[in-house]
Amino acid sequence: MGANIAATATILIRNAVIMTMNAADDIIFGDVLIEGERIAAIGTDLPEKSADTIIDAGGKVLLPGFVQTHIHLCQTLFRGRADDLELIDWLRQRIWPLEAAHNEDSVYYSAMLGIGELIRSGTTTILDMETVRHTESAFQAIAESGIRAVSGKVMMDHGTEVPLPLQEKTAQSLEESVRLLEKWNGAEGGRIEYAFCPRFVVSCTEELLIGVRDLAEQYGVRIHTHASENTGEIAIVEAERGMRNVVYLDHIGLARPNLILAHSIWLNDEEKRIIKERGVKVTHCPGSNLKLASGVAEIPELIREGVTVGIGADGAPCNNNLDMFQEMRLTAYMQKVKHGPTVMNARTVLRLATMGGAAVLGMEDRIGSVEAGKLADLQLLDLEDFHVYPSFDADWYSRVVYAATRGDVDTVIINGKIAMKGKMMLTIDKPTVLREADRSLKMLLARL
Ligand code: GUN
Ligand code: FE
């Protein structure tokens, strides 16, 4: 091999219970071989001699890494600073002033804190919406930490009670988005992608939304926005634009397969039909929807209609964690209260948390399941503990979705690189991030 050709690193994971989440829902006891970024083989008794690193899973559960399709890394520093409010007050009284006080340093540590929490709890891919300014710092944290992310700066050129540092001119918002896109879309060997993130219709002029529509088409990227989360929000849209929220998005040509809507709780039949027929994707955020008292999204109905649905924790100040284990359980439980206990089972929920999220991002051929040829985004759970026993003749979906917790995540691999091993973070310096998160928050609060 030539001196300038780096040998592909290989990892062999042995003796795992592999919940593949493939189309057949196969659960296999065996080994996974990773070569470089990809899963090269799955089988029993794969030869050890070729692997650089061998992880003896010893009965641990191997799952695809979780895909969370709605996160605000820039809000992680605001955990616990906006409790017990409904959406519009939560934004105007707390979140917007806090976001307005961000600088490069505080966005960076907010992102690192969030990414640390995400990787620690088994999430390997996120769709992330940043704040208006300093998005460069969030991309820096994403690049350094190794997490897979689709992210973009939030866009806000309209609305009342918006602090000055968050107010943008239309052209400037579009230009800054394109500048970030050209720098970060496809960065780190494709691990990072850009998405246009108009905040919600309440924060955006029609000119901005139409500009986003055309630029997203031109660059072949996704559009991520909040939609129909709160009755006050849709009342504002109806008063200003004379249409229901999703009807309006369709009216101006945004309702296309590259549009990803967070929440989608308050939809009428026409809006559900638009989402279905236009191939619009939906992200369910149960923890946020319960805490902000936003409502219960009709997720089982949307799935029945063939809509592609993922799950996301939203931001730390409306949850207050970024933990997919909690979101999975809440997804099932809130639907059961409304529609009865059989409406959603553990297997359906785990599919939303993995392949569902991958499909929302258009990455279903690359991530979301443990299959040869896919990118190696994986997590190992150690279920040798009281709260997940007995193991005898266990239903693995039930054990993982209804009983396991974030503390059970033992090892996380992203893009073929070990990010956490034996609960030790390898790509993020935890003591530094915790210390600097406190320091940068203290300075941010002084700027408020
Ligand atoms: N709608 C507009 N902005 C936001 C936000 O930051 N979080 C949530 N949950 N909803 C929003
Ligand atoms: Fe959100």
Give the model's pLDDT for residue 49.
Answer: 79
pLDDT in tens, 17-52: 999 999 999 999 999 999 999 999 999 989 887 799
Ion ligand 2, residue ranges at CB < 5 A: 314
* Closest residue CA from atom 11 of ligand 1: 226
pLDDT in tens, 127-164: 999 999 999 999 999 999 999 999 999 999 999 999 99
Global pTM value: 0.98
Ligand nearest to the CA of 78: 1
Report whether residue 226 contacts ligand 1, using a CB cutoff of 6 Å.
Answer: yes
Give the model's pLDDT for residue 2.
Answer: 38
Distance in Å, CA 426 to ligand 2 centroid: 28
Q: Which two tokens stand for residue 59?
A: 């009965």
Pocket test for ligand 1, best of 71, 74, 95 (most atoms within 8 A of CB): 95
Measure the CA–CA gap between 356 and 296, rounded to whole angstroms: 19
Give the model's pLDDT for residue 422.
Answer: 98
Q: What does 237-296 look like in DSSP terms, one character per residue?
A: HHHHHSS-HHHHHHHTT--STTEEEEE--S--HHHHHHHHHHT-EEEE-HHHHHHTT---
Q: Which two tokens stand for residue 33?
A: 């071989």
Ligand nearest to the CA of 99: 1
Give the model's pLDDT for residue 3.
Answer: 42
Domains of the chain in sequence order: 10-64+374-425 (2.30.40.10), 66-360 (3.20.20.140)
Q: What does 370-387 look like in DSSP terms, one character per residue?
A: --TTSB--EEEE---SGG
Answer whether 236's CB lies under 8 Å from 189's CB: no
Give the model's pLDDT for residue 1.
Answer: 36
Ligand nearest to the CA of 289: 1
Q: Report, as ranges of residue numbers, the positions in the chain whose pLDDT lies below 70.
A: 1-6
Report whether residue 318 contacts ligand 1, using a CB cutoff of 6 Å.
Answer: yes
